[in-house]
Structure 1
């Protein structure tokens, strides 16, 4: 006879905990596993320095994955953070990307998950000049944590020295550890820092990459106290390697004189640079990408270091706010946010010409179907064929759309209007194949040669498809076309047109939304680019199953990839291009 399964978490599944904290562990676990209305949504772990507060929260985190009821969705130390930088990291860990406090609250309110968050060291929060509210941990409570905990389904375990710092909402559960000082306390580099006589502790550091971590973390705090913050903030080396939280807090003080463009650059780069997972060369590449169109001298200074990384920003055009884009015979075709079609030079983003799309039709997605012709989708999910410049629709050789392709488009639109087919959400095309994705979770693959006889329908996902790309592999002789789909369930799947089946497991599954896809045959083989809603770009070398992560400084809703590694990205914040080092992917 099998033993019955435990209904709740078992404390024996957690690591052994000793000292005073061990006595509070059962109460903390009981709080973490309850979801009834009578259970406080806030648990405060209080006590003096060295009494075991952090160890108790670390104990809860260490075993939290052993039972669904205790899953922790975000753990963000508040030490040295202001409300903005703390929100960036909470949003990143929840799968939203680095979001400001307002957007974070909106995303959490719409999130169906019951969210559990751990915030160590709240009493050490705050950054920047001491006379400003951002330096006070109570500002983090008022601007971020209290509003967050007022939302249904959010619960937090927070470390503070005294419960008075965070009084609610409601009546929190307080787990108090002894207040006495420990017998031994290791020196804290945050408070003591390097000796003031150490030249690396001043703004005169020349090689910030080689400077000790404590120096990079505390240098700007010291400079602000000494009134030399503006000197350090105009040091490009420090901007690429210094503390993102300290820089963000200092730039929020309008009394610190810096070039106006720097605050604009940091507004884009700061959320990305606040992530601890970036290498130093990648930090330089991110800062360079944010500066290309805003601060040319800073971008030029950073360019040699940025080019040592596997990707580098080639150009940025913030004015080119983009709904959809595609590459066609050496030209970049872009649909703007009001449905106008532009032709640009992909090498630098320079505008070349305007393209007519027909009266009364405002496309949001486009795909090149050969000979400078396009298949477009509007916001209602209807399709339209856009002829080459100078060609009139329906004029035979001047408008060489195959009759069966026109027939497929007409049939599809009629089915959408009649409610028999879900509206189109994305399109892609390659070498005579057209892939049309829809809001019902499926896609159709059309063959330009075979017409309706070659049309196939596939149920890709159970939720709307958000992005699609297709490619005929080089040397394919049997009609093979690879199709990649991304959907609102956070999965990206690879399909084989011969079998109509996807790979058994998704290429990726994440707690984010795939917003754009691009599949290309490159010098490194087949490469798949996936843009995600949390401002991450993943580059897959499909033959090896290897992936490279690229942080994005802007939202991306459209992608196009060339064989030599130029990746063009578009979104509501503009368009930009990255040069990829394919050999290091």
Structure 2
């Protein structure tokens, strides 16, 4: 039996807010239908509203009934940026309000959300609707709070701002009159120019408030045309300014910011990484901006090498003469990994439209169609003694494809190859490994849910031909199996509140490296030998990866394909 949460498990709380703490805790822990799903915390300025919500969040993890899944202070946000941050914390990635509402509606979890400072939301001049808190309520919070599994504690100065259905109202004293939002300090922005000490050396207050002042003065276009300000200025303010179509912006900037803004809005990136993100997005939309940003971007551990928004992919894999890619129309092509140009178009069956790829040598590749069936097809090669379709590996894959077709084997969900081995994952959490020159290791089940991504890495020169298989599952874990023990590691390599969508592994100068793409637009690069990792934000959704020994990481998905140059020694 689980005991109810106790106020003693929370940090000490003093002042007027302490008198309301038991009622807030009781509300947070209840899930019965009689309990309001929305709690409004109101009161005058400096009466402890924010302190009370911070107290709830600080102790929420001490009991499963009070876990808070997302906390986003609304000050300075518009609906779009608030949605990005909510999506990030809920494990969906930074997504716009419409997609956020869809994801929350499909989420089986009972979600608890805390929104401080709703009355201070909005950004921009007084007349655009985006500048008012009411716009966030109408576009995002009201439909979000109407979803049955969502419960929220919201801070505001007056309950009329959020017309929730029968909320629990916790009111602190209102004797301290509400104060107008303080005006930003006077700022003299640096002159636009080449990358230098100007915006980089500016104070945090200057960076945060400059565009807000420029919007009020009607000079926002000047700052939006300054690439140095795009790197160092407030991402929330830039997003709000670009949302106002009356404000002129350089050609291509809105498209660039649509890709980069959701990442930059997290506020967790260094200046070189902000430049790297902007540079990555601008490569496909604004080459002049990308070239301007390149020197600063190259100071970071990763830099985008090329990007093609027109090359939407459903699968890619390293091949003997380049990179094998399936584009969004289901066409197969061989591409140059260093710049994304096409080398050769490959004839295939357009009805198969494979969604995954693995090159298996002997001039052949393995693809998976949307129904989870395996297909073998020829690819250009430098020649081989083995004819396509011959050999024990091809025969084994053919038998497995037949088993899937007849229902004797589960639907295939992921395929990979490496050093002559082929790994196939399925919808029931099993994978099968066929290593070249060795007997099959049989079926392994690292997950109890569908495998969403798979990668394999072999050491042909090692005794018994050591193989590692990495699997990503719909349970949000990445697991490692090795052929030496024949078992998966007892713990997950990584566990997150997101789905691993693609894996790639390679032998490099710093040892084996694993790349993991997640559904929330994050890439993680791991060194399995010592557990070190580096997180890389992505400006696009990724469903396929290819990693070269030199550190070129090619990422493909529905918004296009691009390549990052990774400094592997800095992992």
The TM-score range, normalised by the shorter chain, is over 0.9
Deviation at 1:192, TM superposition (A): 3.9
Shift of 1:37: 0.9
> Normalising to structure 2: TM-score of the pair?
0.96
Corresponding residue for residue 471 of structure 1? 457
Instruction: Tell me which residue corresponds to 2:421.
Output: 433
Q: Distance in 2 between matches of 1:390 and 1:283?
A: 40
Specify the SS of the correspondent of 1:576.
Answer: strand
Using the alignment, how far apart are the partners of 2:134 and 2:197 within structure 1?
36
Question: 2:131 — aligned with what?
Answer: 135
- State the partner residue of 1:41: 37
Structure 2 CA distance for aligned equivalents of residues 280 and 174 of structure 1: 42
| Aligned positions of 1:106-505 closer than 5 A | 106-168=102-164, 170-181=165-176, 191-194=182-185, 196=186, 199-200=188-189, 207-358=198-349, 360-389=351-380, 399-450=387-438, 453-473=439-459, 475-505=461-491
How much does 1:499 deviate?
A: 2.3
Tell me how far apart the structure 2 counterparts of residues 390 and 214 of structure 1 sit (CA, whole Å).
Answer: 58
Quick check: 1:9 aligned with 2:5? yes
Check conservation: 1:370, 1:431, Cα contact below 8 A: no
* Bigger shift: residues 414-423 or 502-511: 414-423
Query: Considering only aligned residues, what root-mean-square deviation do their CA atoms show, in Å?
Result: 2.1
The gaps in structure 1 that reach 5 residues or longer are none
Q: Which residue of 2 aligns with 1:97?
A: 93
Q: Which runs of no fewer than 5 residues in structure 2 stay unpaired? A: none
Cα distance between partner residues in 2 of 1:167 and 1:300: 49
Contact 1:129–1:250 (Cα < 8 Å) also in 2: no
Q: Is the 8 A contact 2:190 2:199 kept in 1?
A: no
Secondary structure of the residue aligned to 1:260 is coil
Stretch moving more, 410-419 or 33-42:
410-419
Paired residue for 1:582?
Answer: 568
Instruction: Identify the range of structure 1 (555-564 vs 414-423) with the bigger mean alpha-carbon deviation.
Output: 414-423
* Distance in 1 between residues matched to 2:387 and 2:354, nearest whole Å: 19
Q: Could you report, residue by residue, the CA deviation over 1:278-306 in whole angstroms, capped at 9, with x for unpaired residues?
A: 11111110000000121111111100000
Distance 2:226 2:321 in 1: 39
Contact 1:113 1:153 (8 Å CA) reproduced:
yes
TM-score (norm 1): 0.94
Are the equivalent residues in 2 in contact too, given 1:495–1:502 (CA < 8 A)? yes
SS in 1 for 2:396: helix
